[in-house]
Amino acid sequence: MNDDRPVLLETRGTCMHLTLNRPRALNALSHTMVRLLDEALARAEQDDAIHSVLLSGAGDRGLCAGGDIRALHDDARASGHASLEFWRDEYRLNARIARFPKPYIALMDGIVMGGGVGVSAHAGIRVVTERSRVAMPETAIGFVPDVGGTRLLAAAPGELGTHLALTGRSVGAADAILCGLADHHVPVRLLPALTEALREPTGPTGPGASVADIVQEFATDPPAGDLAAQRDWIDDCYAADTVEDIVRKLRASGVPAAQTVADELLTKSPLALKVTLAAVRRAAGLDSLEAVLDQEFRVSSRAFEHPDFVEGVRARIIDKDNAPQWKPGSLAEVDDQEVARFFAPLGPGEQELALAPGPADTSAWDGQDEQGGQGG
């Protein structure tokens, strides 16, 4: 009989194994799943008999394709608030994972996007396979990378993170490791044996090292990636101050791949592109994941209210006509003050996420350039 629980929990020996169990929905995260994961980690943190946590996804298509986009879309259309409460709990879960005091191993096999990155890429040990496709594709639906993704992308070498944030492109195992989104490549055929080794009753008896050694025994070199050979034009073009300048530099580079990217960027929400660039660069200047998540909660709250999110989901996910009508319709029409509004403190009746100590007030930025609060 099939088990229809959205998160499966099995403890064998000293390992708690959590499985996202919505394979027909590519294990997309619901609010219930977020709560179940958080409760399980809270128990594991306090249970001295649990020495490690393993996260995987049911089925063979992916760990997790992100949040339940249709539910978020429907809530936005109805001017609801359930999505904000979902994000509040989801971002707290992301922070818990990053600070989890015991080895947390994420098997990032197959599709890992959006919220799937949030429950995996903050892990202490992150495993990708030859079929992994890791992405933060939010700009295509009029949204902005979240779940701590702007911090991860800001920390990528050179301007690779800016490239991935704006385009929303997915990367394979080698590029995920290069960009700091994963640590080890393990072939799909070895995942069952790795899982069994991690779940052995005689498995890890101390924090960290023995679990890492087990994973390392199964790790191999990943298939070659693409980004290392493209660093020159990516680092040069994406170093520009504004999205318009990035597009101009891409077009002027003389590199065919850069020309393709320029065309691709112009299909995204102009407002989402500008807010995303500001968010990634601001994240580089913040001193903790918690501060970044506080910022992302503000941005997500504002993006949720903006018509581009509903329109983007309609065009890309629901109707699939791939013809969104963005408002505003061009980069030139995006007002700098509108971009700045996404980072301003939440208004009366709205509750900040407030994960970081003290107020995460970034409202001093005047919106005159898209670099925002980027550190040196």
CA dist., res. 257 & res. 280, Å (int):
23
Of 140, 135, 184, the closest CA to residue 161 belongs to 135
Active site residues: 67, 115, 138, 146
Of 126, 128, 168, 129, the closest CA to residue 146 belongs to 168
What backbone torsions phi and psi does residue 15 show, to the nearest 5 degrees? -110, 125
Helices (H), the chain: 31-46, 69-77, 82-98, 115-118, 149-154, 160-167, 173-178, 191-199, 209-218, 231-237, 243-252, 256-265, 270-283, 289-305, 307-313, 336-341
What are residue 128's DSSP bridge partners? 108, 185
The sign of the torsion formed by the CA atoms of 23, 55, 134, 280 equals positive
Written as six digits, the tokens of 264 are 């691709």
CA dist., res. 293 & res. 264, Å (int):
28
**C-alpha dist (Å) from residue 189 to 60, 186, 339:** 12, 8, 46
What lies within 8 Å, CB to CB, of 270 at 6+ separation is 243, 326, 328, 329, 330, 331, 333, 334
182 phi-psi bin (left φ>0, alpha ψ -120 to 50, beta other) = beta
Of 310, 367, 319, the closest CA to residue 76 belongs to 310
**C-alpha dist (Å) from residue 181 to 61, 177, 186:** 19, 6, 15
